[in-house]
Amino acid sequence: MRIGVIGLILPPTFCFLEMMWRICPALAVGCTVVVLVPPASPTPLLVAQLAGELGQFPGILNVISGPASLGPVLASQPGVQKVAFCGAIEDGRALRRALAGQGPELGLALGAESLLLLMETADVDSAVEGVVDAAWSDRSPGGLRLLIQESVWDETMRRLQARMGRLRGGRGLDGAVDMGARGAAAHDLAQRYVHEAQSQGAQVFQAGSMPPDSPFFPPSLISDLPPASPCTQAEVPWPLVVASPFRTAKEALAVANWTPRGGSASVWSERLGQALELAYGLQMGTVWINAHGLRDPAVPTGGCKESGSSWHGGPDGLYEYLRPSGTPTCLPYLSENLNYDTFGLAVPSTLPAGPETGLSPAPPYGLFVGGRFQAPGARSSRPIRDSQGNLHGYVAEGGAKDIRGAVEAAHQAAPGWVGQLPGARAALLWALAAALQRRESTLVSRLERHGVELKVAKAEVELSVRRLRAWGARVQTQGCTLQVAGLKGPVLQLQEPLGVLAIVCPEEWPLLAFVSLLAPALAHGNTVVLVPSGACPIPALEVCQDMATLLPGGLVNVVTGDRDHLTRCLALHQDIQALWYFGSAQGSQFVEWASAGNLKPVWVNRGCPRAWDQDAEGAGPELGLRAARTKALWLPMGD
């Protein structure tokens, strides 16, 4: 089902084609679009003219030419269901913070830097042409990080410098030039970067002599930049190339992934096995092998980490503008007086209840971290009361340290889980389902104590078992091949896990929601940190006892405690790849705001309960889509 009104905020550096690639899919699925573009280039006027020609359907495409500060204004208009932002990373972050609680979903496509990995087994001359395509042409979106294997460093630098000497800058419409100008802002940014790099000890080689106040910036090659310098962390602007050496393929992968951004990259090597291994290992949205900058509207293009998680092109691009049928429209749920600095900071202290009478309760549940139950850092527990008000049990009071430990354990377990064959993953999920079934009577009695009717409790357990089995069966293998017009060779659309997924489970359906959220996350290769229902966490902890014996340690980690405090820790954690929050409206707003830290994709319920027992909401394709990300792998063919 289409989303509705889309607000699209585009940067001035986009060409007409890129703007249309964002607008057309939205229109195609039936959404109406309002585009906001800064007036630095005439391209938006062309789009506006086209919009005006859609006479039969006035209003489906609207173009506003205005400053970027209008972005939040556009987003807060009633009726805007989704805002898609393309542009600089810091602007995206600011927008994410400004839109927390406003209502519309936010899709971010940020940054323009790309990466080129040059192995010693590459065709160096062709790779140099790849560098030209990536950084020194009018089609290149931004600067380039160039990683060169040490053994071919000298010959690559020599060829690069010779090639730079042949590049021609000039007015963009002159057919014989390679690079035009992109405005004063881009020029200044590049100039500042070069000066800073030089002051940090780098060598800068520039081709062509430009007069000092010409709008054209010469192509520049920066080398010997110390890895610890601030310039290495910052995004490389157009038209600069920052070259660094590496020794082995393993080091290349580590250096390539050691950046907060994850947009696009190319691998140059004539050894197929090595090229594929690197391509699979890179944390990027698009990887080209022995090519750079190939684009096609049928191939999903997007990024990961701080490059934003929104996609355009291919089926993923269409899903950006769709939502499951029956989902209510997004309404603003802003709570004006939410203090981001103090939300969930302190755990409200509770006086211990009076002396307990009756049977002595079971020893408190610990936290389930790293495959076993362990005591929380704070060494305290909280009581769980059943529907009669009697003491049901004690669960651990988890805090920031425990979250940190849980995320670390999840990261340690991640490579092993990703490396598992799909069949093995499916087998584990089925084994867990079987264990759950054996535990049915215990679970039913626990649920009953919290006021759930026997029939409903039984149904809940049965449905949980069924969902685990279903997701086990749906464990995806690597992905499908797309056919791209104009390319000889396949483009693989790989489905990859996000990494560590943090899930704050809802209060309703304490067992079913727990399982319904856990299963798709695991099935897609993620490792999970969960915060179960606050009022009724014990069924979840019972399931953990089975997971302790069946699943590898660290795969699933369950932390109990004050939900707001734990949500705060998870939302602010920089090393969690996605966060699903099903709790209060205030919590949802905080999660949206805090996710701007590392721009992790979030899924919040805005305080509204979900019908977990309905398949559409509890086991629909939306869960699978949110639990994985795509990587497009281009393999041009020919010898």
- Pick from 158, 250, 372, 438 the residue near other proteins by CB under 8 A: 158
Closest CA to 587 of 556, 617, 565: 565
Residue with smaller CB distance to other proteins, 552 or 636: 636
Output the smallest distance, CB 200 to other proteins, in A. Answer: 31
Structure tokens at 374: 């362990």
Within 29-145, residue ranges assigned H as helices are 43-53, 70-75, 89-98, 124-135
The residues pairing with 487 across neighbouring beta strands, listed in sequence order, are none
- Interaction with other proteins in 518-577: which residues (CB under 8 A)? none
Q: How far is CA 127 from the centre of its chain?
A: 29
Output the smallest distance, CB 167 to other proteins, in A. Answer: 10
Number of chain residues interacting with other proteins (CB under 8 A): 24
Output the smallest distance, CB 281 to other proteins, in A. Answer: 21
- Pick from 125, 188, 224, 356 the residue near other proteins by CB under 8 A: 125
Residue with smaller CB distance to other proteins, 176 or 351: 176
Q: Per CB under 8 A, which region of 13-21, 126-134, 296-304, 478-486 contacts other proteins? A: 126-134
Closest CA to 610 of 466, 509, 467: 509
Residue with smaller CB distance to other proteins, 218 or 510: 218
Judged by CB under 8 A, does residue 166 bind other proteins? yes
- Pick from 52, 489, 609, 621 the residue near other proteins by CB under 8 A: 489
Say how far apart CA 228 and CA 245 lie, in whole Å: 14
Give the 3-state secondary structure of 625-639: HHCEEEEEEECCCCC
Which strands form 367-369's sheet, in the order they lie side by side? 372-374, 367-369, 556-558, 527-531, 500-504, 578-581, 602-604
Q: Please give the C-alpha separations between residue 590 and each of 17, 464, 578, 584, in angstroms, as whole numbers.
A: 36, 30, 15, 10
Closest CA to 527 of 546, 548, 543, 551: 551
Residue with smaller CB distance to other proteins, 153 or 340: 153
Tell me if 105 sits within 8 A of 95, measured CB to CB: no
H or E element at residue 372: strand 372-374
Residue with smaller CB distance to other proteins, 124 or 523: 124
Judged by CB under 8 A, does residue 270 bind other proteins? yes
Residue with smaller CB distance to other proteins, 2 or 159: 159
Residue with smaller CB distance to other proteins, 326 or 489: 489
Residue with smaller CB distance to other proteins, 124 or 221: 124
Judged by CB under 8 A, does residue 273 bind other proteins? no
Structure tokens at 509: 């359906």
Longest C-alpha distance within the chain, in Å? 90
Q: How far is CA 266 from the centre of its chain?
A: 20
Output the smallest distance, CB 76 to other proteins, in A. Answer: 46
Judged by CB under 8 A, does residue 279 bind other proteins? no
Say how far apart CA 205 and CA 444 lie, in whole Å: 71
Output the smallest distance, CB 121 to other proteins, in A. Answer: 6
- Pick from 31, 124, 135, 498 the residue near other proteins by CB under 8 A: 124
Judged by CB under 8 A, does residue 251 bind other proteins? no
Sign of CA dihedral 56, 58, 60, 64: positive
Judged by CB under 8 A, does residue 130 bind other proteins? yes
Say how far apart CA 595 and CA 387 lie, in whole Å: 35
Closest CA to 264 of 302, 313, 321: 302
Pairing type for strands 500-504 and 578-581 reads: parallel
Tell me if 496 sits within 8 A of 629, measured CB to CB: yes
Residue with smaller CB distance to other proteins, 138 or 277: 138
Q: Per CB under 8 A, which region of 46-54, 119-127, 327-335, 412-420 contacts other proteins? A: 119-127
Say how far apart CA 42 and CA 495 lie, in whole Å: 38
Convert residues 172-211 into a mask of x (bound to other proteins by CB under 8 A) and - (unbound): ---xx-x---------------------------------
Convert residues 610-639 into a mask of x (bound to other proteins by CB under 8 A) and - (unbound): --------------------------xxxx
Output the smallest distance, CB 314 to other proteins, in A. Answer: 22
- Interaction with other proteins in 283-342: which residues (CB under 8 A)? 290-291
Other CB atoms within 10 A of residue 173 CB:
7
The residues pairing with 288 across neighbouring beta strands, listed in sequence order, are 266, 634
The single residue listed with the structure tokens 């109990």 is 560
Q: Per CB under 8 A, which region of 117-125, 336-344, 444-452, 542-550 contacts other proteins? A: 117-125
Distance spanning both ends of the chain, measured CA to CA:
45
Residue with smaller CB distance to other proteins, 170 or 230: 170
Residue with smaller CB distance to other proteins, 121 or 335: 121
Judged by CB under 8 A, does residue 104 bind other proteins? no
- Pick from 1, 45, 126, 438 the residue near other proteins by CB under 8 A: 126
Residue with smaller CB distance to other proteins, 463 or 635: 635
Using omega within 30 degrees of 0 as the cis cutoff, is the peptide bond preceding 44 cis?
no
- Pick from 5, 47, 122, 190 the residue near other proteins by CB under 8 A: 122
Residues of the shown chain interacting with other proteins in the complex, contacts defined by CB under 8 A:
121-127, 129-130, 158, 166, 175-176, 178, 268, 270, 290-291, 488-489, 636-639
